[in-house]
Amino acid sequence: MTPTGPDAPLPVALRAEALEQLLTERGLIDPKVMNGIITNYESNVGPLNGAKVVARAWTDPEYRRRLLDDGTAAIKELGFSGTQGEHIVVVENTATTHNVVVCTLCSCYPWPVLGLPPSWYKDPAYRSRVVAQPRTVLSEMGLDLADDVRIIVRDSTSEVRWLVLPERPAGTEHLSEAELASLVTRDAMVGVAKVEAP
Catalytic residues: 103, 106-108
Residues in the annotated binding site: 103, 106-108
CA distances from 64 to 16, 58, 60, 76, 170 (A): 41, 7, 6, 13, 18
Phi, psi of 37 (to 5 degrees): -65, -45
Residues in the annotated binding site for Fe(3+): 103, 106-108
Say how many CA atoms lie within 13 Å of 140 toward its Cβ.
Answer: 10
> How many whole angstroms from its chain centre is CA 112?
10
User: Strand pairing of 97-102 and 161-165?
Assistant: unpaired
User: Strand pairing of 150-155 and 161-165?
Assistant: unpaired
Say how many CA atoms lie within 13 Å of 190 toward its Cβ.
Answer: 30
Strand-pairing partners, residue 161, are 88
